[in-house]
Structure 1
Amino acid sequence: MQIVHSHLLLDACCVLNFCASGQLLGILKSIPVRVAVTQVVREQELQTLQRLEGEENDGASQFEAAIAQNLLITVDFESEEEAESFVNYAAILDDGESATGAIAVHRQWAMATDDKRAISFFRKETPQLQVLSTLEIVKHWSEEAGIDSQTLRDVLNLIRVKGRYMPPKSHPLHSWWETARQ
């Protein structure tokens, strides 16, 4: 996985999937650029993860540890243009995808999302924007860290069950997902 930008902004769905995997810190450490979330995503995700905490989900503590260890930074709008793009995108997309996309576009950063509508929108509107997915990042982490097949299977199954994520059959790594989960 090559990231052609200085930063990677994670959308809420990717944060949830990485937390569900139980491997958030390891995944973040494997990413070869600075990793960030928008203030909008941080606030939404922390609330979601805290609600899940009662289900013995350590996602909130992983998320806070990632921030405390500076593996994940939080960014907010720095210009009127970013804020205006956010408002424009929010007419079409959810707030998390809109904030992530607005900042990524204006700062020329990469973004990661699994939201099909957001992927389609940003590829059409801003083809220069590099858009990554949960699977691309998890596959990269598994290769970089030399993760054994049983651990990878467990991680992908946790993402499937706890993260409630299933890649569409059209995803370029769908067959990798299917094979690794067996």
Structure 2
Amino acid sequence: MHVLLDACVALNLEAAGEFDAIADVLGLTFVMSTKVAEETFYLDDIIDGEPCRIQIDLGPHIRKGTLGVHNLTPGDETATFVRLAGQVDDGEAECLALAVHRALPFATDDRLAIRVAGDLGLTTIFRTAELLRRYADRANLRSHDITLMLGAVERRASFRPPRSSPDYSWWLGHSSPSDH
């Protein structure tokens, strides 16, 4: 199954350090719209004790086949994109247009994009925490490994799911106690 990722979810999965493994274990191919793939992604890291920003290279994921990039086609997809770009940012608008016209699930943590997706009749919306929980369950990750993975997402991508996330309690239960 193909799942469209917005920039935030893509960044979070990359920050987890398990992008390809998540796709493989869940039997998914992640897809980005052209606009999302063209955005420059950075993760925060510490090298030699100094904080720095590391640019993400999506090429290895594309070559491995765990990530694809889809272009909008002229006509209905482009018209939907233009209409949605007035409601959400261009990356989300492009992903939503692809999701609607290609009947693809969409992954986002953006509340507005989730609302717009619902308005469009999209019923399969994934969030970062759900994808990571499913991966942890299917890969039988130990609690310690889950804590390390979630800590990497929090530290490298500055992400923690909102309290309204269905998997917030799971995330909090596996976060490092010093992060609470």
Specify if TM > 0.5.
yes
Q: Tell me the equivalent position of 1:99.
A: 94
Q: CA deviation at 1:89?
A: 0.7
CA-based RMSD of the aligned residues comes to 2.1
Contact 1:18/1:24 (8 A) holds in 2: yes
- Structure with bigger helix share is 1
Q: CA deviation at 1:65?
A: 1.1
Q: 1:174 aligns with which of 141, 165, 168?
A: 168
Q: Partners in 2 of 1:144 and 1:50 — Cα distance? A: 26
> What is the TM-score with the length of structure 1 in the denominator?
0.86
Residue equivalent to 1:113: 108
Q: Equivalents in 2 of 1:29, 1:121: separation in Å?
A: 29
Kindly indicate whether residue 137 of structure 2 is the aligned counterpart of residue 146 of structure 1.
no
Aligned length: 172
For residues 56-111 of structure 1, the C-alpha deviation after alignment (integer angstroms, 9 at most, x for no partner) is 64x624x2211111111110012411111111111110111111110001111100
Candidates 57, 62, 65, aligned match of 2:60 = 65
Return the alpha-carbon distance in structure 1 between the equivalents of residues 122 and 53 of structure 2. 40
Any unmatched runs of 5+ in structure 1? 1-5
What is the aligned counterpart of 2:83 among 76, 84, 88?
A: 88
Q: Does 1:49 align with 2:45?
A: no
Change (3 A) 1:53 1:105: farther
Query: After superposition, what is the alpha-carbon deviation per residue over 1:21-75, rounded to whole angstroms, capped at 9, x for unaligned?
Result: 111111121232332111111001xx22389899364x624x2211111111110
Query: Contact between 1:21 and 1:158, CA under 8 Å: does it hold in 2?
Result: yes
What is the percentage of aligned positions where both structures have the same residue? Answer: 27
Point out where structure 2 has 5 or more consecutive residues left out of the alignment.
none
